[in-house]
Amino acid sequence: MTKIRTYNQISSKGLDRFDRAQYQVGADQQDADAIVLRSHKLAPDEIESSVRAIARAGAGTNNVPVTHCTERGVVVFNTPGANANAVKELVLTGMLLSTRGVIPGMAHIAKQAGGSDNAALSKQMEADKKQFAGNELAGKTLGIIGLGAIGSMVAGMAIDLGMTVLGYDPALSVDAAWRLPNQVQKIENVTALLANSDFVTLHLPVLDSTRNLINDEMVSAMKPGLCLLNFARDEIVDHDAVIKGLDNGQIGRYVSDFPRYELIGRDDVILTPHIGASTAEAEENCAVMAAEQLKDFLVNGNIRNSVNFPALSLDRVPGAETDTRLAISNKNVPGMLGKILSVLAEQDINVIDMINKSRDEIAYTLIDLDKAPSSAAADAIRGIEDVINVTVL
């Protein structure tokens, strides 16, 4: 039985992909082979020595100790794009709530409760509505920082709404560039984007290089009165700088999916409880993608959408017996493949197919053999210096 330990509420549509004849799945699984989680902050000591992979049903992996996992040869997956539409729709909600009098208008109406003269209420509301007038999005400029799965969808939506879209992403992948609507004006300098936007929305990961990206200097570069939307991560924003910006009018509104005490109760702040990906559709998409990627890894050793291992896939030889595939992780140092193949040759085991790739400090190899390796052969490979782990599949 393969054991999957879960944290957080993972959609049953995804967990159902694990056939219960072969998998035990749940929050109480001990000595798990793999972990599926959402935003649970995973401590290194929660990752037992039995764990081979961790699947984040979502985009951000800042809650997973990725460097620690890489050192231990644990593959960390995420589900890029699977919740992007949900976030896009909440960004639109945030932009509309920040620019139309919906929230104060609703609060004003709630205060009228308890009367009975609807004609008088209607007359009063018609008189009061001038307090709640707003602006339209069409014709305004939206700056997007981070043009990946979410940023590109937000760009398309804003263009459809008649907005001008500026984009900044110094690390844009070729795939992401292909997805981007060609009306997006690419800006090389984040301060130029801030100076020329009415709305700025953040869609980048939290990394050492992006922590506190929105700081005093960036706030002073903003077009006065700008609306800043943060559906990315709390840590990307220096909140002292944002509060100063709100107080001096440099920032008109701050819309954030990451509540903080110092922001609660301000009329110029709209907070939501990290619900960017909390739709039935996104939760299902993420859970299904995480489960499928995890199964392909646990059964075949294939890797798709890992944040710390190379992408790699090897078709099974038709008719091959089980337990004839080796999955090997090792430090990315010269000469490793030669040493591994020498062990197999010494054991008189023939290689039928093989694939090897590296990513930063890690290398990963799948080798199909003409027969199942003995435990002595697998142990001999494990014994090679700089080999991290060896699994027979």
Ligand X SMILES: O=C(O)[C@H](O)COP(=O)(O)O
Ligand Y SMILES: NC(=O)c1ccc[n+]([C@@H]2O[C@H](COP(=O)([O-])OP(=O)(O)OC[C@H]3O[C@@H](n4cnc5c(N)ncnc54)[C@H](O)[C@@H]3O)[C@@H](O)[C@H]2O)c1
Other residues' Cβ atoms within 10 Å of the Cβ of residue 136: 12
Which of 270, 206, 274 has its CA nearest to residue 238? 206
Three-state SS annotation for 269-309:
EEECCCCCCCCHHHHHHHHHHHHHHHHHHHHHCCECCECCC
Q: Least Å distance between CB 115 and ligand Y?
A: 40
Assess 274 for contact with ligand Y (CB under 6 A).
yes
Tell me which of ligand Y, ligand X, none is bound by residue 176, counting a contact when its beta carbon lies within the kind-specific cut-off of 5 to 8 angstroms.
Answer: ligand Y
Q: Is 162 exposed, middle or buried (0-12, 13-18, 19+ CB in 10 A)?
A: exposed
Q: What is the number of the residue whose Cβ is closest to ligand Y?
A: 148
Beta bridge partners of 367: 326, 354
| CA 292/CA 322 separation, integer angstroms | 20
Say whether residue 84 binds ligand Y (CB under 6 A): yes
Pick one of ligand Y, ligand X, none as the site partner of residue 39 (Cβ within 5 to 8 A by kind).
Answer: ligand X
User: Is residue 271 a contact point for ligand Y (CB under 6 A)?
Assistant: no
By CB under 6 A, the residues from 318 to 347 that bind ligand Y are none
Instruction: Note whether 74 binds ligand X by CB under 6 A.
Output: no
Query: Which residues are 327's β-sheet partners?
Result: 366, 391
For residues 339 and 131, give the distance between their C-alpha atoms in angstroms, rounded to a whole number.
76
* CB-CB contact of 143 with 95 (8 Å): no
Q: DSSP string of 179-212?
A: HS-TTPEE-S-HHHHHHT-SEEEE-----TTTTT
Binding test (CB under 6 A) with ligand Y, winner from 85, 210, 285, 302: 210
Answer yes or no whether residue 259 interacts with ligand X by CB under 6 A.
Answer: no
Beta bridge partners of 199: 142, 227
Stretch that binds ligand X, among 28-36, 58-66, 290-298, 365-373 (CB under 6 A): 58-66
Q: Name residues whose C-beta falls within 8 Å of residue 72's C-beta, 6 or more positions apart in sequence.
A: 47, 388, 389
In the complex, the smallest distance separating the C-beta of residue 72 from ligand Y, rounded to whole angstroms, is 23
- At closest approach, how far in Å is the CB of 83 from ligand Y? 5
Contact mark string toward ligand Y, 38..77, x via CB under 6 A? ---------------------xx-----------------
171 binds ligand Y (CB under 6 A): yes
Helix ranges (DSSP H) in 22-79: 66-72
Residue 57 or 336: the one with the smaller Cβ distance to ligand Y is 57
94 binds ligand Y (CB under 6 A): no
Q: For the chain, first and last CA: distance in Å?
A: 14
User: Applying CB under 6 A, which of residues 15, 35, 42, 59 lies at the interface with ligand X?
Assistant: 59
Q: Shortest distance, CB of residue 147 to ligand X, whole angstroms?
A: 17
Contacted by 38, from ligand X, ligand Y, none: CB < 5 to 8 Å by type: ligand X
Nearer residue to ligand Y within complex by CB, 236 or 294? 236
78 Cβ contact partners less than 8 Å away, ≥ 6 residues apart: 55, 56, 58, 59, 60, 61, 305, 307
Q: Quick one: which of 3, 10, 47, 58 contacts ligand X (CB under 6 A)?
A: 58
Per CB under 6 A, does 313 bind ligand Y?
no
User: Binding ligand X by CB under 6 A: which of 165, 214, 270, 277?
Assistant: 277
**Contact between residue 162 and residue 135 where contact means Cβ atoms under 8 Å apart:** no
Closer by beta carbon to ligand Y, 24 or else 279: 279
Q: Which C-beta is closer to ligand Y: that of 218 or that of 378?
A: 218
Dig out the tokens for 77 from the structure: 């997956």
Nearer to ligand Y, 171 or 352 (CB): 171
Q: Which C-beta is closer to ligand Y: that of 102 or that of 176? A: 176
For the CB of residue 305, give the shortest distance to ligand X in the complex, in Å: 13
> DSSP for 82-100?
TTHHHHHHHHHHHHHHHHS
What is the b/e burial string over 251-284, where b = at least 16 CB atoms within 10 angstroms of the residue's CB? bbbbbbbbeeeebeeeebbbbbeeebbbbeebbb
Residues engaged in binding ligand Y (CB under 6 A): 59-60, 80, 83-84, 87, 145-151, 168-172, 176, 203-205, 209-210, 231-233, 257, 274, 276-277
Residues engaged in binding ligand X (CB under 6 A): 38-39, 58-60, 83, 276-278
